[in-house]
Amino acid sequence: MTVTNSQTSVIWVGNGSTQEFYYSFLIPFAGQCQLVFTPVGGAPQVIAPGLYSVSNVGNSTGGSVVYPISGSPIPTGATLTFSRVVPYQQTFHPSAQGPIYNPVLEAALDALDMQIMQVEQQLGDVSINGTVVNEISFTGSVSVAFSGTELPGIGTTSALITLPPGPQGPIGFTPTISVGATGLPTGDAPTVSLSGTALDPVIDFGIPAGATGATGPVGAVNTLSIGTITTGAAGSPAEATITGAAPAQVLSLTIPQGIAGTVDGVAAAAASAAAAATDATNAANSATAAANSASTATTEATDAANSATAAANSASTIPAPSAAGSFLQVNPGATAYQIQTPAQVLADIGAQAAGSYAGLDNANTWPLTQSATIQVAAFSAAVTLDLTQGNDVALTLTGNATLANPSAMMPGCSGHVALTQDATGGRTLAYGSYWKFGTNGTPTLSTAANAEDVLVYWVRDATHIIASLVQGVQ
């Protein structure tokens, strides 16, 4: 064994997680070492041998120390000082060896070398505390007293000495600290870990999520009322605007006007009739001119006049529309045309015989869905509906009201009345004598703010409206 490393101790700084620490010098035999723990801001404490373990004893390259063997690691900033401690006794007796055994001799020399290193370390650890009163020059031997203990080979006579300053130390480095954070589940303990290098340390915090907060107060119920409905230009985009602040907001709409349509064949037929009339007039003029200009062309003129007369007669059966709002009706079964007013057209649609085109008084099949516009009734204390203006009605109650007998009814029609409470709620509705609810009796509206019920009805005759209320459809 050869002692090649002059190091006799090492200091480790705790980080709150490490329990195994490494040393790189020889520990010759078990028990020839010492571990000292120094807490942050506290006094050093010698750790009992049974509370830590040392590996690779007798190996000149060193080993590791585990402390504590069980329990929490030393906290961040606390230190451990691990030192080699060899006894100051010489136990080697050459006379008892017979022939000198080289390993034994080498071990004795190694022990002596380690004792010297140990003394040197202990002298280097001595600190002299005091105050310089003044500076003097002196000759001869000097003794220094400190902490009531004598230095080896020096007496106890005190003296004032002048110590020269030491050399300037190197400029220290400024580390760049990075900080990270990781979210942890609610209830977990927070954590802190240190990683990286001395120049680039990284501090990672584990922060548990907070507990769920208390339920907030119930917010106000928003009331969306209909504002203005504006007709936009044909082809323009539809617009919807919400104004005001919750819980009372207003929806305004801009609905573009539809593009005007045409009646198939009407314009073409009118143009054709006008062109035929013009051709007839031109032909008659030509015939008259021919008859006047040459008597020898009488036959030719007569023939031309006859042709013109026939053309004129034909044109007279295709009159052009003569009044605003009239329509040109083409009968698909014959080559005849008629000028009809809107009232006449409607009368024809309702009275058309079965087997021709669809009349409203015939049994018809409609291939697409037919829908009606919902009329919005104005609120008053007595609401009177005109059921000829639409089967489906919407009414918002801003106070107590009576749904009076309708002003006009058509037996056999049916529909719905949507009844909506305003933001206040609690509004009641009475009914006129025509409204019949059967053995269930007069229904009661939902009273919550903004609640919506639907009154479903069927008109049996001029004085009976059979109805039922469907509640809570909002």
Structure tokens at 355: 């087997």
Instruction: For the domain covering 375-470, report its CATH number.
Output: 2.60.120
Strands 452-461 and 79-84, how do they pair? unpaired
The pTM score is 0.30
Q: From CA 277, how far away is CA 283, in angstroms rounded?
A: 10
The single residue listed with the structure tokens 């509640």 is 471
pLDDT for the residue numbered 28: 86
Structure tokens at 183: 């979210």
pLDDT for the residue numbered 456: 96
pLDDT for the residue numbered 339: 61
3-state secondary structure the chain: CCCCCCCCEEEEECCCCCCEEEECCCCCCCCCEEEEEECCCCCCEECCHHHCEECCCCCCCCEEEECCCCCCCCCCCCEEEEEECCCCCCCCCHHHCCCCCHHHHHHHHHHHHHHHHHHHHHHHHCCCCCCCCCCCCCCCCCCCEECCEECCCCCCCCCCCCCCCCCCCCCCCCCCCEEEEEEECCCCCCEEEEEECCCCEEEEEEEECCCCCCCCCCCCCCEEEEEEEEEECCCCCCEEEEECCCCEEEEEEEEECCCCCCCCCHHHHHHHHHHHHHHHHHHHHHHHHHHHHCHHHHHHHHHHHHHHHHHHHHHHCCCCCCCCCCEEEECCCCCCEEEECHHHHHHHHHHCCCCCCCCCCCCCCCCCCCCCCCEECCCCCEECCEHHHCCEEEEEECCCEEECCCCECCCCCEEEEEEEECCCCCCCEEECCCEECHHHCCCCCCCCCCCEEEEEEEEEECCEEEEEEECCCC
- Rounded to 5 degrees, what angle do the CA atoms 289, 294, 297 make? 95
Exposure of 316 in the CB half-sphere (CA atoms within 13 A): 7
Q: From CA 221, how far away is CA 395, in angstroms rounded?
A: 19
pLDDT for the residue numbered 131: 53
pLDDT for the residue numbered 455: 96
Averages of pLDDT over runs of 10 residues in the chain (474 residues) are: 76 95 90 93 94 92 94 95 83 60 65 69 57 49 45 44 74 86 92 89 92 87 88 90 88 87 50 54 52 43 50 45 48 54 62 50 72 90 89 95 91 93 96 94 95 95 94 90
pLDDT for the residue numbered 142: 46
The closest of 466, 412, 415 to 437, measured between CA atoms, is 466
pLDDT digits (tens, 9 = 90+) for 20-49: 999 998 898 888 899 999 999 999 999 999
Exposure of 304 in the CB half-sphere (CA atoms within 13 A): 18
CA 106 to chain centroid: 77
Structure tokens at 194: 């240190």
Is residue 157 within 8 Å of 143, Cβ to Cβ?
yes
pLDDT for the residue numbered 105: 63
pLDDT digits (tens, 9 = 90+) for 288-345: 454 444 344 444 545 544 554 544 444 444 444 444 444 455 555 545 555 666 666 6
Q: From residue 318, give the alpha-carbon distance in Å to each of 264, 266, 280.
A: 16, 11, 13
Q: From CA 181, how far away is CA 258, in angstroms rounded?
A: 62
Structure tokens at 170: 């190197």
pLDDT for the residue numbered 103: 65
Is residue 238 within 8 Å of 255, Cβ to Cβ?
yes
The single residue listed with the structure tokens 């003044």 is 134
Strands 401-403 and 429-431, how do they pair? parallel
Q: From CA 275, how far away is CA 415, in angstroms rounded?
A: 51
pLDDT for the residue numbered 436: 95
**Residues facing 150 on adjacent strands:** 145
CA 46 to chain centroid: 59
pLDDT for the residue numbered 146: 45
Is residue 16 within 8 Å of 75, Cβ to Cβ?
yes
Is residue 375 within 8 Å of 392, Cβ to Cβ?
yes
Q: What is the residue extent of each domain of the chain?
A: 9-123, 266-351, 375-470
Exposure of 76 in the CB half-sphere (CA atoms within 13 A): 8
Q: From CA 94, how far away is CA 105, in angstroms rounded?
A: 8
pLDDT for the residue numbered 400: 97
